[in-house]
Amino acid sequence: MSRNAESTAFRSALEVVRGVEPRVAAAIAAELADQRESLKLIASENYASPATLLAMGNWFSDKYAEGTVGRRFYAGCQNVDTVEALAAEHARELFGASHAYVQPHSGIDANLVAFWAILADRVESPALRKAQARQVNDLTEADWFALRRELGNQRMLGMSLDAGGHLTHGFRPNISGKMFDQRSYGTDPATGLIDYDRVAEAAREFKPLILVAGYSAYPRKVNFRIMREIADSVGATFMVDMAHFAGLVAGKVFTGDFDPVPHAHIVTTTTHKSLRGPRGGMVLCGPELADQVDRGCPMVLGGPLPHVMAAKAVALAEARRPDFADYAQRIVDNAQALADGLLRRGASLVTGGTDNHLVLIDVSGYGLTGRQAEQALLDSGIVTNRNSVPQDPNGAWYTSGIRIGTPALTTRGLGAPEMDATAELIHTVLSQTTPGTGPDGAPSKAKYVLDPAVAESVGKQAADLLTPFPLYPSVDLG
């Protein structure tokens, strides 16, 4: 697509929106401006291509398409079948999977589909069979009671939240923590790394139905071959949530023991983050779970979003291009350059560095909580998110860590020199920020003090750093 065509497309779209609700059009334009000016280091965010964004704004949004390709519960879905089949084809080829289900609306939805597919495959329950067969209305109250009792007694072993795991891996605030009797494996207190012997010991003791691997804040590779061996040793289904690092798998940065697809029974992912597609989810599996996975809608999903599946097809096609592998490698190179720059300036990093796209800073060394650091950085034009560190004394709300990632800045074209400059800016803000006090004069975990002149200076330097790397240079809103 030419630069003029992209500008025309987005300008025209905003003009149409402006004619109905100008405040929405203004907010859309403001969001682009904000993203262009911010040093975005949130590890779970990226920038989708104009083609991917435009694929979401069309008439597919108006279609209901419950069911799967060729087996819909609504008529007139032939074009939806086309884009869903294309998205699934690209996913299979990209990841070397035998089956791909591209309907999930998010990573959480993808995990729910996987959980129910595993349960349906493993649990002998007449109530569950009825539900999977779309006979939900035929379930009696006794059926529901039996189903809740059976599912509530199933066991899941996943990575602990403070070690880098995710809420959907069995934690109480999430439905997975209500569906399963859950236990966590952590990391070695001395190194912050997964101790596979301890995972194996926990699996032998707990005997989970599902062993989950994957993370949202673990800065190292995971050996999926070893994890599969552990799962097999206790008869567990091995599930991997690769939402964060799917782009590194797609780009063949993670191969062999570090590619989850050949080793896991079932793999879930988001399609944004390092994969650089639209916000959405996806499930990959072998033929033994394919039928159960394809029942995700209406079992736990609402109607598929055909416009998002169209965008997934576009993004997955982009990821199959040779230049995506170069992009994926640069994500890791940039993360390591950023980590090195922080270490040289005295920052404390969980595990002492990174193998992937993210870096986890323990900001307690600066005398701060994660919440104080997050806000001070935001004041200075650097967008991050607070995150727990292993054995975090401040809990999941205030935290002691800041998680930063490189997919978005890599998309903009920044490289190792810019990562070192970014490390300097981060260190400047954190070293110049001090904890504040509450109204009663007591130390606060949220309040902080940062000289506005420092924040202004860093913000200007961040903007200057981004100037040679414009975001969506082909899009001029005028």
What would the DSSP string read from start to end of 372-400?
HHHHHHHHTTEE-EEE--TT-TTHHHH-S
For residue 411, pLDDT beyond 60: yes
pTM of the entire structure?
A: 0.91
- Residue closest to 429 by CA, chosen among 378, 390, 463, 393: 378
Contacts of 141 (CB under 8 A, 6+ apart): none
pLDDT at position 442 is: 84
For residue 255, pLDDT beyond 90: yes
- The catalytic residue positions are 64, 66, 241, 270, 273, 279
Q: pLDDT tens for residues 99-142?
A: 999 999 999 999 999 998 998 777 655 656 665 555 555 666 67
Task: For residue 84, give the DSSP letter.
Answer: H
Q: Are the C-beta atoms of residues 474 and 3 closer than 8 Å to each other?
A: yes
pLDDT at position 180 is: 80
Average pLDDT, the chain: 92
Lowest-confidence segment of 130-134, 252-256, 300-304, 335-339 by average pLDDT: 130-134
Burial of 437: CB neighbours in 10 Å, binned 0-12, 13-18, 19+: exposed
The token pair that represents 130 in the structure block: 């009825």
Contacts of 306 (CB under 8 A, 6+ apart): 60, 61, 63, 65, 79, 80, 83, 84
Task: For residue 419, give the DSSP letter.
Answer: H
- Dihedral of alpha carbons 356, 221, 322, 52, sign: negative
- Per DSSP, the chain holds a count of helices (H) and strands (E) of 20, 16
- Dihedral of alpha carbons 54, 60, 61, 67, sign: negative
Sheet strand arrangement including 210-214? 99-101, 281-285, 266-270, 237-241, 210-214, 154-159, 180-185
Residue listed under structure tokens 């065509």: 5
Q: Which amino acid is at 95?
A: F
Residue listed under structure tokens 């104080």: 372
d(CA 297, CA 117): 12
Residue 223, number of CB atoms within 10 A of its CB: 16
Domains in the chain: ranges and CATH: 59-319 (3.40.640.10), 323-466 (3.90.1150.10)
Task: For residue 169, give the DSSP letter.
Answer: G
d(CA 216, CA 228): 20
Residue listed under structure tokens 């070893």: 226
Q: Are the C-beta atoms of residues 166 and 197 closer than 8 Å to each other?
A: no
Q: pLDDT tens for residues 72-107?
A: 989 999 999 999 999 999 999 999 999 999 999 999
The token pair that represents 150 in the structure block: 């059976």
Q: Which amino acid is at 262?
A: P
d(CA 116, CA 138): 19
The token pair that represents 37 in the structure block: 């000016």
Model confidence band, residue 438 (pLDDT cutoffs 50, 70, 90)? confident
- Residue closest to 205 by CA, chosen among 181, 178, 183: 183
d(CA 434, CA 27): 34
pLDDT at position 128 is: 61
